[in-house]
């Protein structure tokens, strides 16, 4: 059995995961555009 180091455990934390950072960034962009899209009667990711 392999020992898991503290460093490995730290790497596995959610805030260290790229997918988490991308999700947070995506939600921030959508939130910034929401008022503009609402005025146009569009919802994200609607483009037509």
Tokens of 34: 């929401």
Angle at the Cα of 37 from the Cα atoms of 32 and 40, rounded to 5 degrees:
155
Per-residue pLDDT of the chain (48 residues; tens, 9 = 90+): 566 677 777 877 877 888 888 988 988 988 898 899 899 998 866 444
Tokens standing for 20?
A: 């988490």
At residue 4, the pLDDT reads 64
* CA–CA–CA angle 11, 19, 17 (5° rounding): 10
């Amino acid at each position: 059995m392999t020992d898991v180091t503290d460093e490995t455990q730290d790497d596995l934390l959610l805030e260290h995961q790229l997918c988490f950072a991308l999700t947070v960034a995506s939600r921030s962009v959508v939130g910034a555009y929401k008022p503009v899209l609402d005025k146009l009667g569009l919802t994200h990711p609607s483009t037509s």
